[in-house]
Structure 1
Amino acid sequence: MKVKPRDIPAFISEPPGALAVFLVFGPEGGLVRERAQTLVRALIEDPDDPFAVSRLSEDDLKSDPAALGDAMAALSMIGGDRLVRLRLSGDSAPAASWLKDFQAGHAPAEARLVIEAGDLKKGSRLRKLAEEGDRCAALACYAESGGDIVRFAEELLAEERLSLAPEAKAFFVPLIEGNRQLARAEIEKLILYKGTLEQRGQEAGLISRDDIADVCAAAGDAALDQVVDPALLGDAAGADRGYGRAMASGLSAVGVLRALQRKIDQIDVAAASGGDTGAMMRAGVPRFGPPADLFRQQSRLWTGRRLEHARKLAFDAERAVKRSGAPAEAIVGELLIRIARGAQSARR
């Protein structure tokens, strides 16, 4: 079935129980990821449970075309629901072949499947099969307008009884327009900056233009890039020096961690959108000059499973900062060294 764009928010919040396969695709990679994550949370109790959720990439299917079929046919080791997540940059012959067999009743499905893909054209075999299948759903995600982004921001802020001043709204939209996932990260930083509803004693708050200038990535990216970029390129010494300067200048370790996570997301979004200049624009990174060349170098080093591993390392570091009680500076410093070593390995 084909889900109409206006129906997607409600659909992913309560997906029909009869459906087994969900294809989330489109040129707006941040929105694809955002909606896929919402869908996954609605389908499985714990999206981070490795026993309940299997993850596959495009590289996995290229090296083993039967990997998807094996993952979908596997029984749960501990009982309960299972989910398979597959991430693609575009059309995939192995995925389309499995989906065709599934619809014909020749491929068992002991789990539900969520596929994230890039911009699939109408002639895409995978898209056509998902749109026509009785137990499948196709959800197309296209770039949102400024008004859509504003509504999204206002909904998140309203949960914390925060609102945007008129001049702040006009300033904020150009910074976040074009990528839902990056927009969410900036909105969450604003909430932390102003204080959660509980921290403010249940009082309403107003976000000014100055608040946004103080908090948003555009205001502090240059200093953070001096830490994150060397790490992603394999320059451990450079990353360590940049990290030391960042801490001495008053930047937070958590801010560095967020910058690293944001750059990982940007590399991922650009790759999922085809990796060309237009993809870089959708990822929110420079398209020309030395910064663009630097991003392309990083993108060549961080692909497939290596990029997913970097994302997991950053997630584990974030969890450790929140739960372990260890100094955030030490946890993030160790993370940067591990990322740099990963890039060094990719260069060999």
Structure 2
Amino acid sequence: MVAVKAHQAQAFLKSPDPRYSAYLIFGGDAGLVSERAAGIAKAIAANDTPPGEIVRLDEIDIEADPDKLSVELLTIPMFGGRKIVRVETSRRVTTNMLKPLLDGHALAGVLIVEAGNLKKDDALRLAFEKAPNAAAVACYADDGRDLDAVISDVLQPLRLTITPGARQMLVSRLGADRVMSRGEIEKLALYAQGQGQITEDDVEAVVGDAAELTIDRIVNASALGDGAAAVTELQRALHAGESAQGIINAVQRHFTRLHRLRAAVDGGKSIEQTIGEMRPPIHFKQKDALAAQLRTWRAEALDAALAGIATAARAARVSSALEDLLVERLVLTLSRLARPAR
């Protein structure tokens, strides 16, 4: 029966209290929520004798067997070691499903629920805050101090140091999503492995601006027909404060360039030659993705894509209240257009 503030979350989850058998980890930073849920699951499993078993259930599992969650949590393992069950809230995993587990039973296992932003009066949050065996743990986007800690957490075990200037540059380029930030730091550490110290030149070479990187991922996923990835990256960008109209503009610029490059290929140039002649030249890391897109898209499909983008841009300017919905619909439409051309 506890509500853990965001600044207390890391310390609270590092040493799980045996009084609690249910945890709600919630907040707008999906990466941080996931990382902390994974961390407490591992800590609980390690503290059990014999070690506990971590089980992840998704919406498909629950849809196939609505009783699976309660069975996993209420069944006493034959050979000891509790089940630690991780789930995310969804249309199947709801307050109505979870509340009876908090109210009516002593759980044999441990329940860890991951959720997005929840208001103070949200029914699920209140259920965990009031239940005697449960804790609700708030997780909010990383600030500079949090990112400093993540940088040290990644670099110290590898015996890597980082200059003050490089650290400052790195923090400025990382976004609010913990998992994405950790991934960028790990990529930088791999790049600098063996040289002892990371410099500003290393950061410049490896880590792009977080907002630009996220928008690039939206654009590339859409252009390669991966609608699910495009929507995931889009939600990250919108949550981080990116403008829907700005994202539409970036998509429009990319597809206009793709149309121009496709015309050059249709005129007889190879894809490699066309990309090599681009001015200004693109980064080598982008070349493979762009080549794949040129192999995917034909001129007629690009004409349709540009028409759809223009329509979405006009609609977003007229009705800013709907711009988030419009940009999501746009990236899904582009993803569908990409598939038949493959």
What TM-score bracket applies, with the shorter chain setting the length?
Answer: 0.5 to 0.7
In 1, the alpha carbon distance for the partners of 2:133 and 2:46 equals 21
Contact 1:150–1:173 (CA under 8 A) maintained in structure 2: yes
Counterpart of 1:229 (choices 214, 221, 229) is 221
Residues 206, 16 of structure 1: alpha-carbon distance in 2 compared, 3 angstrom cutoff: same
Whole-angstrom distance in 2 between the partners of 1:2 and 1:188: 32
Count of residues in correspondence between the two structures: 250
Structure 1 residue 102 displacement after superposition: 2.9
Distance of 1:116 and 1:104 partners within structure 2 = 19
The CA deviation at 1:45 is 4.3
**What corresponds to 2:108 in structure 1?**
110
What is residue 15 of structure 2 aligned with on the other side? Answer: 14
Alignment correspondent of 2:95: 96
1:287 is paired with a residue of what secondary structure? Answer: helix
Aligned to 1:287: 247
Instruction: Say if 1:124 and 1:63 are closer, same or farther in 2 by CA, change over 3 A.
Output: farther
- Paired position in structure 1 for 2:69: 68
CA, structure 1 residues 189+127, in 2 after alignment: closer, same or farther (shift >3 Å)?
Answer: same
Structure 1 residues 120-150: Cα deviation after superposition (integer angstroms, max 9, x where no partner): 1112111001111111011101122223312
Tell me the distance in 1 between the aligned counterparts of 2:163 and 2:22: 42
Contact 1:86-1:114 within 8 A present in 2 as well: yes
Deviation, 1:167, is 2.6
Flag the 1:5–1:188 CA change in 2: closer, same or farther, 3 A: same
Q: Which amino acid letter does the alignment assign opposite residue 103 of structure 2?
A: A
Shift of 1:209: 1.3
* Partner deviation per Cα, 1:244-270 (whole Å, 9 max, x = no partner): xxxxxxxxxxxxxxxxxxx96x85576
Partner Cα separation in structure 1 for residue 221 and residue 24 of structure 2: 33
Pick closer, same or farther for the CA change 1:160–1:33 going to 2, 3 Å: same
Residues 1:215 and 2:195 aligned together: no
> 2:5 maps to which residue?
4
Q: In structure 1, how many angstroms separate the alpha carbons of the residues matched to 2:117 and 2:179?
A: 17
Q: Which amino acid aligns with 2:149?
A: R
Matches within 5 A, 1:166-245: 166-195=164-193, 199=194, 205-217=196-208, 229=221, 233=225
CA contact (8 A) 1:280 1:287 kept: no
Q: 1:152 to 1:76 in 2, by over 3 A?
A: same
Alignment of 1:241-256 (within 5 A): none
1:26 is displaced (CA, Å) by: 0.5
> Taking every aligned residue pair, what percent have the same amino acid on both sides?
30
- Structure 1 residue 24: deviation in Å? 0.4
Taking the aligned partners of 1:177 and 1:8, their CA distance within structure 2 comes to: 20
What does residue range 44-63 of structure 1 map to in structure 2 within 5 Å? Answer: 44-45=45-46, 52-58=53-59, 60-61=61-62
Unaligned stretches of 5+ residues in structure 1: 236-262, 295-335
CA RMSD of aligned residues (A): 4.2
Structure 1: distance between partners of 2:221 and 2:99:
43
TM-score by length of 1: 0.59
Distance 1:55 1:214, change over 3 A: same
Are residue 28 (structure 1) and residue 26 (structure 2) matched? no
Please say if residues 13 and 39 of structure 1, whose CA atoms lie closer than 8 Å, have aligned partners that are also in contact: yes
Give the distance between the partners of 2:92 and 2:123, measured in 1 at CA: 8
Matched to 1:212, the amino acid is V
**Separation in structure 1 between the aligned mates of residue 240 and residue 77 of structure 2, nearest angstrom:** 39
Over 3 Å counting, the alpha-carbon distance change for 1:4 and 1:28 in structure 2 is: same
> How has the CA–CA distance of structure 1 residues 215 and 79 changed in structure 2, closer, same or farther, with 3 Å as cutoff?
same
Q: TM-score, normalised by structure 2?
A: 0.60
Contact 1:57–1:88 (CA under 8 A) maintained in structure 2: no
121, 125, 128: which one pairs with 1:127? Answer: 125
**Contact preservation (8 Å) 1:21, 1:137:** yes
Amino acid at match of 1:5: A
Distance 1:65 1:77, change over 3 A: same
Q: Which blocks of at least 5 consecutive residues in structure 2 are unaligned? A: 255-291, 297-334
Alignment partner, residue 299 of structure 1: none
Residue pair 2:218, 2:233 contacting (<8 A) in 1 also: no
- Note if contact 1:52-1:76 (Cα within 8 Å) is conserved in structure 2: no
Is the Cα–Cα contact under 8 Å of residues 23 and 115 in structure 1 kept in the other structure? yes
- Whichever of the two has the greater Rg, that structure is 2
The answer to whether the aligner puts 1:164 opposite 2:162 as a matched pair is yes
- Deviations along 1:311-348, one digit per CA (max 9) or x if unpaired, are xxxxxxxxxxxxxxxxxxxxxxxxx9xxx9xx99xx89
